Each structure stands twice: as C-alpha cells, then as structure tokens.
Amino acid sequence: MNHSKLAEILDTAAETSQAVPQLTLENNISEKDAYKIQNLSIKRRIERGEKLVGIKLGFTSKAKMEQMGVHDLIWGKLTDKMLINRDSSINIKKYIHPRAEPEVCFLVKKTIDKELKTIEEAKEYIAGYTVAIEIIDSRYQDFKFSLEDVIADNCSSAGLVIGPWNPIEEDLENLKVTLEVDGEKVQEGNTSAILGNPWNALFDATRLAMAAGEKIRYSSYIMAGAATSAVYIKPGQQIKASIEKLGEVEFGVRELV
Ligand code: OOG
Ligand code: MG
C-alpha cells in the first residue's frame, strides 16, 4: 500500500474542500496503516508551515459512537491553521460539510512525557480547562467512514474554538453541556458522558501519545471528545457551546467567496 499517496488524497481533499470516496472501499487498511497515513498527512501540513498546537480524542462518548457507527477511541492532531478566534466567523466555503460539537479542552503547562493516571498527578502538567467547540469536517463523501478511514483522515479535525481558561478548581464530572444554534438549544449532554469524566480522556490522551513515542508539549491543547452528537452548521448561524461552571464560547458561520 502506498501510504503517502493515500495521505495526499486526504490532504488535497481538505485543502480543496472536495470530498473523496472512503479509502477502505479500495484499500485494505489496518488501524496501524491508518495512523501511518494520518501522520503522513500531518507531515504535509507541517511542510506547508502549519504548527502543531495539540491533540484531540474522538469517540469518547456513546452519543458520538452511536451517531457515527464506530466503537473505539481514536486520536488525531491539531494545527494552528485549525484555530478559530472565539466570537469571530468562519467562512463555510473553506469546509466540505462542517459539523460542530461541544467539548472540554485542557491546556498543558508542562511537557507531558509519561502516562498520567490521576488528577493529582495531572495537576503538575495541566494549567486549566474550558469549554470548546470542535468543527469536524470529514473528507469523505456523505460524512461516512469506517474506523480506519476516520483515523487516516486525522479524525475529521477541521477547527477549534476555545473558551476562556478556568483554573483547576471545579470537578469536571457531571456538568451540563449544551450546544445552541441561534439561541436555540440543539444538543444537551453531560461531561460524565465523556468516559465517565473528561479527566479520563486526558489520561487516555497521554497513554496514546506515549504508546506512539510522542510527548505532549507544554502549551498544547487536548480536546477530550464531544459529549453530544455533532450538528451540521449553515451560513448565517451563530453557534454557542456552554458547560456548567466552565463558561461558554461561540462563533458565527458566514458564506464568503
Ligand atoms: C470523528 C471525530 C470524532 C469526537 O469528538 O468524538 C470526534 C467524526 O465524528 O467525524 O471528534
Ligand atoms: Mg470532537
């Protein structure tokens, strides 16, 4: 299998906002191959000048697994090109069929070079957390994929909007999560839907990174995965996510040429 060629197909799909058929329709791709393709697609971004800013987990909640029909934790990379200022607007033309989902995001204050297993341990490495919105935009037609497809596609990563940071004070368990479109609630969930507690997603992120032989650099963002299903977004809409005690964050959707 030509991993670089497959990485190029997905990278070009993202760059040109043109969906492509699922890679697994024509290729026998293992999970290991899929991460190799993901790494090669990230390498192309780095070569174009993008900088790594963090990592994301996917399918950490039942709501997401059921919505997308897959059943395993996945992880991908975030680059500076994906960062969207809160209260700004995105141009929908830069995406294929974007969806938004509410997430918890952690901020790393000290490079993580080992698997973290307890909150006490994690406090040395994490500066704080907040509510964030992830924009996912599968490069596959109709947003349909297998687990291997979505891993190769860097877990549909396309954008992130991060709220104001909170210090580590509040417990992250059992906090109400909502996603609103134009002031109307469209999704409601709870942080406990994220592996029982978003801290568990952070621990898993450190486990996966260490298993891949990678450190998580200080100043990285770690996205814990959505607590609810994702919703398609359209021009003219204002999208807002809130998490009880953590705050809120929003952005607008515009259509520009
Ligand atoms: C894959 C990405 C999953 C999450 O938060 O669970 C994800 C997708 O749904 O397209 O980001
Ligand atoms: Mg997500």
Q: In which band, very low, low, confident or very high, does the pLDDT at 206 lie, cut at 50, 70 and 90?
A: very high
Average pLDDT, the chain: 97
Percent above pLDDT 70 for the chain: 100
Q: Is the pLDDT of residue 257 over 80?
A: no
Q: Give the model confidence (pLDDT) of 211-252 as tens digits.
A: 999 999 999 999 999 999 999 999 999 999 999 999 999 999
Query: pTM higher than 0.95, yes or no?
Result: yes
pLDDT at 134: 98
Domain boundaries, the chain: 3-254
Q: In which band, very low, low, confident or very high, does the pLDDT at 71 lie, cut at 50, 70 and 90?
A: confident
CATH topology of domain 3-254: Fumarylacetoacetate hydrolase; domain 2 (3.90.850)
Amino acid at 198: P
Strands 176-181 and 238-243, sheet pairing: antiparallel
Q: Is the pLDDT of residue 89 over 90?
A: yes
Q: Is the pLDDT of residue 255 over 80?
A: yes
Ligand 1 atom with the smallest distance to the CA of 59 is 6
Nearest CA to ligand 1 atom 3: 58
Tokens at residue 215, please? Answer: 């450190």
Buried b (16+ CB within 10 A) or exposed e, 190-210: bbbbbbebbbbbbbbbbbbbb
Asked whether 23 lines ligand 1 (CB < 6 A), one says: no
62, 64, 194, best to mutate for ligand 1 pocket (most atoms within 8 Å of CB): 64
How far are the Cα atoms of 89, 143, 206, 254 from residue 187, in angstroms, in the given order?
21, 19, 29, 21
pLDDT at 187: 98
Q: Is the pLDDT of residue 88 over 80?
A: yes
Amino acid at 187: Q
Q: In which band, very low, low, confident or very high, does the pLDDT at 86 lie, cut at 50, 70 and 90?
A: very high
Tokens at residue 177, please? Answer: 């999560």
**Contacts of 41 by beta carbon, 8 Å cutoff, 6+ apart:** 7, 8, 10, 11, 14, 152, 153, 154
Q: What is the DSSP string of 104-162?
A: EEEEESS-B-S---SHHHHTTTEEEEEEEEEEE--SBGGG---HHHHHHTGGGEEEEEE
pLDDT at 46: 98
Asked whether 251 lines ligand 1 (CB < 6 A), one says: no
Buried b (16+ CB within 10 A) or exposed e, 16-48: ebebbebbbeebebeeebbbbbbbbbbebbeee
Q: Is the pLDDT of residue 169 over 90?
A: no
Question: Which residues lie across from 133 on neighbouring strands?
Answer: 102, 161
Q: Is the pLDDT of residue 200 over 90?
A: yes
Q: Give the model confidence (pLDDT) of 12-31 as tens digits.
A: 999 999 999 999 999 999 99
Q: Give the model confidence (pLDDT) of 111-131 as tens digits.
A: 999 999 999 999 999 999 999
d(CA 141, CA 234): 18
Tokens at residue 208, please? Answer: 């996966």
Of the listed ranges 88-92, 166-170, 207-211, 241-245, the one predicted with least confidence = 166-170
Asked if 111 and 218 count as a contact pair (C-beta separation under 8 A), the reply is yes
